[in-house]
Structure 1
Amino acid sequence: MVDFTMSGAFIRNVERIWGESGQAWLAALPGIADGLLREWDLRITGPLPLSINWVGRVRRADGSTAVLKLALPEAGHLADEATALECFAGRGAIAVLARDDARGALLLEEARPGDQLRDLVPHRDEEATARLIEVVKRLHRPAPAGVALPELSRRTESFARHLRRFPGDDPLPRDLVERAGRLFGELCATATERVVLHGDLHHDNVLAAEREPWLAIDPHGVVGDPGYEIGALLYNPDPAGADDTVLDLVDARIEQLADGLGMPCERVVAWGFVQAVLSEVWSFEGHEGRTTRPLRLARRLLPALP
């Protein structure tokens, strides 16, 4: 059996989110990894940071490097990630080298040298935003007929679910969640295009590479209006200093994104607002969350909504 390391924080995250199913998967994970390493002729060469998926660097039989990513199969998110990456076909994103949906496994191209785009913020933020615009343009293509990815419009249910669970203004102001839910539906209904979206594109998920200057990683995989892609770009990355450093860059980012993507500023603002509220709503699903920078962004954008 291969020497397979799992951090305590990773184990706690999996158990907290998936309970007994997560515990069973953790127990089976070394065996799953051992089988995949043999079948795909891989050797683990180093760890990568773990959150809710196991991820590690591997070397292939031909000597090239790659990344092995393992997730609880019943969660389904790794299959969506793989499908989105296959739709991108290496344009602006890492490539899929192999997938096994039944075992929740992906073998992925490694972006090297792998420096995060966040390293340009805040001192070279205009350059960072320009690179993000280039990646978005590379990624977005019309969604293929019958593509096995969830529709963006389904995420409106997250707002309704939150309002049913929390009838008052705690933990989030009810009128803000109601406004975001209505506006989310309106934006989806007036979609300018229907494209395959990364769904979680921000500075931590874009890495320096050799095949292309910058490549996206870790897509959620969803289909819908291209404007959704810009939401997370406005409140990321986590700043090294004062918590609201990034928010001081928002106005300039909105103008640059609107110009670079050919999108009305009003629509950039609207998508930024609804996705910021959605981020906060998700933080209270299934476990205790806390309000953070996205809520402050939503309040900041509220007066500029169409």
Structure 2
Amino acid sequence: MVEIPLPASFTRAVEQSWGPAGRRWLGVLPALAEQVAQDWELTLDGRLPLSMNWVTRARRADGTPAVLKMGVPEGGHLADEAAALGFFAGRGAVAVLARDDARGALLLEEARPGTPATALVPADDEAATAALISVIRRLHRPAPESINLPELAGRIASFEQHLDRFPGDDPLPRSLVERGAQVFAELCATATERVVLHGDLHHDNVLAADREPWLAIDPHGVVGDPGYEVGALLYNPDPQSPDDGVLDLLPARIEQLADGLGMPAERVIGWGFAQAVLSEVWTFEGSGKDHMRSLRVAHRLLPLLP
């Protein structure tokens, strides 16, 4: 049996997100990982940091490195990730080497050396932003009607559910959530294109590689307006201090993203604001502990909205 140490933080996140299905999956994960490794002729080669999925380095039968990623197959997100990566086909993102949706397993290209764009911040934030712009330009292509990915506009439901659940100004100012929902809906309704989006593109999800200078990992996989991609870039990565860091970088990032992507600055600001609010809304769907970083960004961007 494959030995799989599962940190308490990981098991807690899985159980909070998927409940009984998550607990069942955690119980069978060691046997499932061993079966997948045998079927794909893999030697497991060192666990990677865990969040919502179990991830480990692996070596294929021919000696080439890879990454094995496994997640809850019942209502999990790996099928969307696999569909998005399959569409990207290695262009600006790691390639899919094998896929098994029934077992919630993905075998992925390993980006080497794998240094995240986070390492450039704040010393050379301009270079970090340029790296993410280059990845966005590689990833974005028109979405075929046949692609099986959720529509971006569907995420408006998270705002609505939050407003139904919390009628007052606790845990988030109601007016801020209402404005976030309004801006989100308006931007979706005025989409300039319908493209396949990474859906969670930020500095930790863009890694230095040898096949291309930078490759994206961990897409959510969603279809909609290309401007959505810039939102998470504005409130990441975590600053060293709650009072500076990312807030000080906002004006330069907005200008660079608008210029680099040929996008009006108003849409960069709008998507940054809407996503910063959405990030806080999602936080209260889960742990109930706000990030504050995205909330501060939302408050900073609010007066800049048209």
Place the TM-score, normalised by the shorter chain, in its bin. over 0.9
CA contact (8 A) 1:243 1:293 kept: no
Question: Residue 81 of structure 2 aligns with which residue?
Answer: 81
Aligned positions of 1:269-284 closer than 5 A: 269-284=269-284
Alignment of 1:220 with 2:220, yes or no, is: yes
Question: Residue 180 of structure 1 aligns with which residue?
Answer: 180
Question: Residue 115 of structure 1 aligns with which residue?
Answer: 115
Structure 1: runs of 5 or more not aligned: none
Alignment of 1:36 with 2:40, yes or no, is: no
- Counterpart amino acid of 1:38? Q
CA contact (8 A) 2:53 2:71 kept: yes
CA deviations over 1:215-268 (Å, ceiling 9, x no partner): 000000000000000000001001234553111000000000001100001111
In structure 1, how many angstroms separate the alpha carbons of the residues matched to 2:9 and 2:177? Answer: 31
In structure 2, how many angstroms separate the alpha carbons of the residues matched to 1:123 and 1:144? Answer: 40
In structure 2, how many angstroms separate the alpha carbons of the residues matched to 1:205 and 1:155? Answer: 21
- Counterpart amino acid of 1:296? R
CA contact (8 A) 1:80 1:220 kept: yes
Question: Residue 18 of structure 2 aligns with which residue?
Answer: 18
CA contact (8 A) 1:116 1:203 kept: yes
CA contact (8 A) 2:242 2:293 kept: no
Question: Residue 208 of structure 2 aligns with which residue?
Answer: 208
In structure 1, how many angstroms separate the alpha carbons of the residues matched to 2:208 and 2:286? Answer: 34
CA deviations over 1:173-224 (Å, ceiling 9, x no partner): 1111111111111110100000000000010000010000000000000000
CA contact (8 A) 2:247 2:297 kept: yes
Alignment of 1:7 with 2:23, yes or no, is: no
How well do the aligned residues superpose, as a CA RMSD in angstroms?
Answer: 1.1
In structure 1, how many angstroms separate the alpha carbons of the residues matched to 2:30 and 2:194? Answer: 40
Structure 2: runs of 5 or more not aligned: none
Post-superposition offset of 1:104: 0.5
Post-superposition offset of 1:288: 1.7
- Counterpart amino acid of 2:130? A
Post-superposition offset of 1:4: 2.5
Question: Residue 154 of structure 2 aligns with which residue?
Answer: 154
Post-superposition offset of 1:302: 0.8
SS of the residue aligned with 1:115? strand
User: CA 1:281–1:242 in 2, change beyond 3 Å: closer, same or farther?
Assistant: closer
Question: Residue 139 of structure 1 aligns with which residue?
Answer: 139
In structure 1, how many angstroms separate the alpha carbons of the residues matched to 2:68 and 2:278? Answer: 30
Alignment of 1:293 with 2:285, yes or no, is: no
In structure 2, how many angstroms separate the alpha carbons of the residues matched to 1:243 and 1:285? Answer: 26
In structure 2, how many angstroms separate the alpha carbons of the residues matched to 1:134 and 1:277? Answer: 26
SS of the residue aligned with 2:220? coil
Q: TM-score, normalised by structure 2?
A: 0.98
- Counterpart amino acid of 1:121? V
- Counterpart amino acid of 1:113? P
Post-superposition offset of 1:46: 0.7
Post-superposition offset of 1:19: 2.5
CA deviations over 1:136-177 (Å, ceiling 9, x no partner): 000000001210000000001111110000001111111111
In structure 1, how many angstroms separate the alpha carbons of the residues matched to 2:224 and 2:242? Answer: 34
SS of the residue aligned with 1:252? helix
- Counterpart amino acid of 2:175? D
In structure 1, how many angstroms separate the alpha carbons of the residues matched to 2:76 and 2:8? Answer: 23
CA deviations over 1:23-79 (Å, ceiling 9, x no partner): 111111111111101110001011101112100000000000100000000123000
In structure 1, how many angstroms separate the alpha carbons of the residues matched to 2:239 and 2:56? Answer: 26
